[in-house]
Chains A and B, each alone.
Chain A
Amino acid sequence: MGSYHLGRHLKILEFALSSMLRRRTKNLGLVLVFAALVFLLSSIVFLTGALRTEALATLEASPQLLVQRAMAGRHALIPLGYGELIARLPGVGSVTPRYWGYYYDIYTGANYTLLGIGDQGLESPGSTPLRLVEGSFIMPGQRRVCLIGEGVAEVRGTRIGGMVSLRDARGWMQEYEVIGLFASPSRLLTNDLILLPEADLKAHFGMPDDRATDLMVEVYNPHEVDNISRKILERLPDARPISHAEIQRTYETLFNWRGGLLLAMFLGAMAAFMILAWDKATGLSADERREIGILKAIGWETSDILELKLWEGAALALVAFLAGVTAGYAHVQRFGAELLMPVLEGWSTLFPAIDLAPRIDPYALGVLFSLTVVPYIVATVVPSWKAAITDPDRVMRAS
């Protein structure tokens, strides 16, 4: 009995598909509009998702607690003495100063991040998870060399053995030999990163000897981070402790807010589309009406027609959904979400190239489904029913 049931549904589905194909020109317009909407919505969801993943991956690498110094509300260099003070707090492991800064290159018009590598090399706690692709790391005591990320290598057109020239704080051009290329799980990290020996970096920016850019603080128990931050603030009022979790929350809120806002904007478009769908479903053409009349007359029941209409709606929605989602995925993945970038201004400079990990997120698909297919199906319920209750003797009376 069960298989017979299935047979019934399959036959009705088969007829639904064949009748849609017969009216393909009529359905094509609707599918295109629907797919375009799904495309927009999915681009937004995929893009914010990708950016979030990227940002969180970057964060993985950052230390539990980062201490900066604020002066006049701006980030200022932090005295190394602060580090000694912090290191004496109970529960604090090591304190490592970081030396880094931004460098604007007038020739390529790009912003680089220069990061100093001390004698501990890259193995120091909280250092970035960089992976050497080619060449070697900076040896202790080595000077006038650098390591660059793959992104920088592309822009500069340099490989190992080449030279990178940077204008230092005094306005002199300094040349550094490239001795290695590195990669990391996230493109954000490496796209604009240049590693220099610590001494070279300090000389480049003209930093005083007793100052660092910020301090990485190792905290033994992660639950104590907030306590330690408070104690640091009590002792050093001009310090600005930033905990890992705090950054993560800021990112989460930022990305959800941006994505949600954009989605909300497009919901208006969705509403308009639902009206269109309603209208299309209500405005059955004379020949569709006749066909439903015939089916009723030759023994199809109201619920059979309802099922037929439901299959039609589902097939249309599914085709549009898949097309839209695929296009949205390609848009974000292959073309860097070009169409959305103007809307997301401020991000575009922050994130030069997105390398979305090719994965299918069932949750994102579920959310997109509930934002697009669900309203469409709901919008077609009443019109489908109106079509389905056609009198079976209608075709006889019409004659």
Chain B
Amino acid sequence: MSRKMISLENVTRVYNQGRPNEVRPVNEVSLDIGHGEILVLKGPSGSGKTSLLALVGCMIRPTSGRILVAERDVAKLPERFLTGVRRDTFGFVFQQLHLIPGISVLENVMLPLYPLEIGFTAAKRRALELTEQLGLTHRKGFKVEALSGGERQRVAIARALINAPQAILADEPTAHLDAGLSGELMQIFETLRGQGKTVVIATHDPLVHDSPLIDRVATMRDGRILDGDG
């Protein structure tokens, strides 16, 4: 396995701490993720996969434990700087895709670059490159609601890639895809790994976690990782 990229040490996330409705979606999890691997977090819904993904992706801070991104502890970083780390390191693909209707494919893809200090033309050039790579050039001016399911999925991936992230985090990416499109998606992930990117997928879809393309599976239950390979 290659060098560690992200490393979680005894990470716990508690909501409503000290109150009767206290929950711990992630409980004492330790996990290493290497450069250029495809890791699958598998487990039934409610097992804490999504929360773990959010922790890995610096979307939320852990209640306790350490999270090292490129050897740097980000667990206690204020939100402002945590967002900075997230923008530089990760790209997200969500279960519901979460594209913004009413604006074009190209604008959707460019959106993560808007708050960054990059000129408009440079941002557009990058978005055009990605739409071409993902075979969306003929759709670039369309509004996203006019696209097919598979095309939308690729727009979401292009958007996740626009900031040139080292890792792609995908939450149930195949939930709304048929078998054919799911296979296509796995092919894209493999290409990304070929470019040296890390891919982390949270899923309970056997098509994904049984796929021969993946490097490693970590099974989650009740906020913990079961397998010893975590």
A joins B in a complex: yes
A399 adjacent to B50 (CB under 8 Å): yes
B117 adjacent to A294 (CB under 8 Å): no
B119 adjacent to A12 (CB under 8 Å): no
A10 adjacent to B171 (CB under 8 Å): no
Query: B64 contacts the other chain (Cβ, under 8 Å)?
Result: no
Of A15, A291, A303, A304, chain B has the most CB atoms within 10 Å of the CB of A15
In residues 161-200 of chain B, which contact A (Cβ within 8 Å)? 163, 171-172
The CA-CA distance from A391 to B54 in the complex, in Å, is 11
B119 adjacent to A7 (CB under 8 Å): yes
Of the candidates B59, B96, B114, B163, the one whose C-beta lies within 8 Å of that of A399 is B96
B100 adjacent to A294 (CB under 8 Å): yes
Given that A5-B117, A395-B94 are contacting pairs, would A301 and B80 also be in contact in the complex, using a CB cutoff of 8 Å?
Answer: yes
A11 adjacent to B50 (CB under 8 Å): no
Given that A298-B92, A397-B50, A399-B94 are contacting pairs, would A392 and B83 also be in contact in the complex, using a CB cutoff of 8 Å?
Answer: yes
Query: A300 contacts the other chain (Cβ, under 8 Å)?
Result: yes
- Closest chain B CB from A224 CB (angstroms): 68
In residues 1-41 of chain A, which contact B (Cβ within 8 Å)? 1, 3-5, 7-8, 10-12, 14-15, 18, 22
Q: Is the interface of A mostly helix, strand, loop or mixed?
A: helix
Q: Determine the chain A residues whose CB is within 8 A of the CB of B5 once the complex forms.
A: none
Q: Determine the chain B residues whose CB is within 8 A of the CB of A14 once the complex forms.
A: 114, 120
Q: Determine the chain B residues whose CB is within 8 A of the CB of A22 once the complex forms.
A: 102-103
Q: Determine the chain B residues whose CB is within 8 A of the CB of A399 once the complex forms.
A: 50, 94-96, 171-172
A11 adjacent to B120 (CB under 8 Å): yes
Query: B154 contacts the other chain (Cβ, under 8 Å)?
Result: no
Q: Determine the chain B residues whose CB is within 8 A of the CB of A293 once the complex forms.
A: 98
Query: A299 contacts the other chain (Cβ, under 8 Å)?
Result: yes
Number of interface residues of A (CB under 8 A): 34
The CA-CA distance from A18 to B100 in the complex, in Å, is 12
B102 adjacent to A395 (CB under 8 Å): no
A297 adjacent to B59 (CB under 8 Å): yes
Given that A12-B114, A299-B83 are contacting pairs, would A396 and B100 also be in contact in the complex, using a CB cutoff of 8 Å?
Answer: no
Of B51, B100, B107, B172, chain A has the most CB atoms within 10 Å of the CB of B100
Q: Apart from A4-B118, A291-B100, A299-B83, what are 8 other A-B pairs with CB-CB below 8 Å? A: A8-B116, A11-B120, A12-B115, A14-B114, A294-B98, A295-B111, A301-B79, A302-B79
Of the candidates A10, A300, A391, A393, the one whose C-beta lies within 8 Å of that of B120 is A10
B59 adjacent to A392 (CB under 8 Å): yes
The CA-CA distance from A181 to B123 in the complex, in Å, is 68
Of the candidates A1, A3, A7, A396, the one whose C-beta lies within 8 Å of that of B94 is A396
0/1 per residue, A96-140, Cβ < 8 Å to B? 000000000000000000000000000000000000000000000
A393 adjacent to B60 (CB under 8 Å): yes
Query: B53 contacts the other chain (Cβ, under 8 Å)?
Result: yes
B123 adjacent to A11 (CB under 8 Å): yes
For chains A and B in complex, what number of residue pairs have CB atoms within 8 angstroms?
Answer: 93
Question: What is the interface of chain A, defined by CB distance below 8 A to chain B?
Answer: 1, 3-5, 7-8, 10-12, 14-15, 18, 22, 290-291, 293-295, 297-304, 391-393, 395-399
Query: B87 contacts the other chain (Cβ, under 8 Å)?
Result: yes
- Closest chain A CB from B60 CB (angstroms): 5
Given that A291-B100, A297-B94, A302-B80 are contacting pairs, would A396 and B59 also be in contact in the complex, using a CB cutoff of 8 Å?
Answer: yes
B119 adjacent to A4 (CB under 8 Å): yes
Closest chain B residue to A301 by CB distance? B83
B100 adjacent to A304 (CB under 8 Å): no
The CA-CA distance from A333 to B194 in the complex, in Å, is 71
A392 adjacent to B60 (CB under 8 Å): yes
The CA-CA distance from A398 to B80 in the complex, in Å, is 23
Q: Determine the chain B residues whose CB is within 8 A of the CB of A398 once the complex forms.
A: 96
Query: B204 contacts the other chain (Cβ, under 8 Å)?
Result: no
Query: B113 contacts the other chain (Cβ, under 8 Å)?
Result: yes
Q: Determine the chain B residues whose CB is within 8 A of the CB of A297 once the complex forms.
A: 59, 92, 94, 98
A393 adjacent to B80 (CB under 8 Å): no
Closest chain B residue to A392 by CB distance? B59
Top 8 nearest A-B pairs by Cβ distance? Answer: A4-B117, A304-B115, A11-B114, A393-B54, A299-B87, A301-B83, A393-B59, A7-B119
Query: B112 contacts the other chain (Cβ, under 8 Å)?
Result: yes
B120 adjacent to A301 (CB under 8 Å): no
Of the candidates B50, B54, B112, the one whose C-beta lies within 8 Å of that of A299 is B112
- Closest chain B CB from A26 CB (angstroms): 13
Q: Determine the chain B residues whose CB is within 8 A of the CB of A291 once the complex forms.
A: 100
B96 adjacent to A395 (CB under 8 Å): yes
Of the candidates B92, B114, B172, the one whose C-beta lies within 8 Å of that of A15 is B114
- Closest chain A CB from B193 CB (angstroms): 22
B103 adjacent to A299 (CB under 8 Å): no
Of the candidates B100, B115, B123, the one whose C-beta lies within 8 Å of that of A301 is B115
Of A22, A295, A393, A396, chain B has the most CB atoms within 10 Å of the CB of A396
